[in-house]
């Protein structure tokens, strides 16, 4: 793959033989042995991930939303079970994201609210970036929404207050994604962008935007590159080790 931005599916993205933020998170949390074990497992999106993708379409690409996201109809009477099974099979074959009527309505309203709040500039949704770095090896990112002035990441979450989202970001190591994305995007097109999270709750609908601290991003870039170099070294030497921590039990 050439260095640059590419429109590829999630399956194609996760099949790339390169370092992603998810891979870095595995190295950070469990060591290179854990990252190796996790890297080659097949990608299977959960229903929650599908709902998140539907929200992305609702927020960033209404044409794609109307094409890909479908509301599950209600079947009744004789033969309803077979009719429902046939309908779901056809929807799956078409690559559709199937939602209940209530979930479809909620995601439509959440997407509209996010668009009204942010007022997005023209950009690209779910675009993948690839860069063959001579120091850390091939790296890739997949941006929820990329504009010339920002990297946007959409989160369907119950944590929108500052303290709650801060705790979530700390627990889930969001610094890895924000730093890796900012650094890789800059390597691809030399545009220095901030990284922002769009936090959306469903009931009630609320939209809050947070921006990653620039100093923390800079520090995170150094830490991410160190993790990437550790992985590159493990691959070259074919030696992988788990992360082992001392656990204190006695009081």
pLDDT number for residue 237: 94
Instruction: Reply yes or no on whether the pLDDT at 81 is more than 90.
Output: no
Work out the mean pLDDT of the chain and round it to a whole number.
90
In a domain, 201, yes or no: yes
Handedness of CA 183, 187, 193, 195 (dihedral sign): negative
In a domain, 145, yes or no: yes
Instruction: Reply yes or no on whether the pLDDT at 42 is more than 80.
Output: no
pLDDT number for residue 32: 94
In a domain, 245, yes or no: no
What is the pTM (predicted TM-score) of this model?
0.87
Instruction: Kindly write down the DSSP assignment for every residue of 88-142, as one continuous string.
Output: HHHHHHTT-EEE-HHHHHHHHHHHHHHHHHH-PPS-EEEEEEEEEETTTEEEEEE
Residue 69's DSSP bridge partners are 97
In a domain, 244, yes or no: no
Task: Report the Cα 53 to chain-centroid distance in Å.
Answer: 9
Q: For residue 166, what is the domain's CATH number?
A: 3.90.320.10
Q: Which tokens is 182 given?
A: 């900012």
In a domain, 250, yes or no: no
Instruction: Reply yes or no on whether the pLDDT at 47 is more than 80.
Output: no
pLDDT number for residue 215: 97
Residue 152: which domain range?
4-236
pLDDT band at 101 (very low <50, low <70, confident <90, very high): confident
In a domain, 143, yes or no: yes
In a domain, 249, yes or no: no
Mean pLDDT of 146-168: 92
In a domain, 241, yes or no: no
102 burial (CB, 10 Å; 0-12 / 13-18 / 19+) is exposed
Each residue of 159-189: pLDDT tens digit? Answer: 888 999 999 999 999 999 999 999 999 999 9
Q: How many domains are contained in the chain?
A: 1
């Amino acid at each position: 793959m050439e260095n640059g931005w590419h429109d590829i599916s999630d399956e194609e993205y996760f099949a790339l033989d390169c370092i992603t933020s998810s891979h870095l998170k595995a190295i950070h949390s469990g060591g290179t042995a854990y990252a190796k074990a996790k890297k080659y497992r097949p990608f299977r999106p959960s229903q929650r991930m599908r709902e998140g993708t539907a929200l992305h379409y609702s927020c960033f690409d209404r044409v794609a939303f109307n094409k890909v996201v479908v509301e599950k109809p209600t079947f009744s009477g004789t033969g309803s079970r077979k009719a429902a099974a046939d309908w779901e099979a056809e929807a799956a074959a078409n690559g559709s994201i199937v939602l209940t009527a209530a979930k479809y309505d909620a995601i439509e309203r959440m997407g509209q609210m996010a668009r009204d709040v942010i007022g997005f500039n023209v950009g690209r949704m779910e675009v993948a970036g690839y860069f063959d770095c001579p120091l850390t090896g091939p790296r890739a990112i997949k941006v929820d929404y990329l504009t010339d002035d920002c990297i946007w990441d959409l989160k369907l979450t119950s944590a929108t207050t500052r303290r709650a989202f801060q705790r979530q970001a700390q627990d889930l190591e969001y610094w890895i994604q924000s730093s890796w994305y900012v650094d890789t995007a800059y390597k691809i097109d030399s545009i220095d962008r901030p990284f922002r999270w769009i936090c959306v709750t469903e009931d009630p609908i609320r939209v809050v935007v947070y921006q990653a601290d620039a100093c923390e991003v800079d520090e995170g870039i150094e830490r991410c590159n160190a993790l990437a170099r550790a992985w590159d070294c493990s691959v070259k030497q074919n030696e992988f080790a788990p992360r082992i921590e001392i656990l204190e039990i006695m009081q």
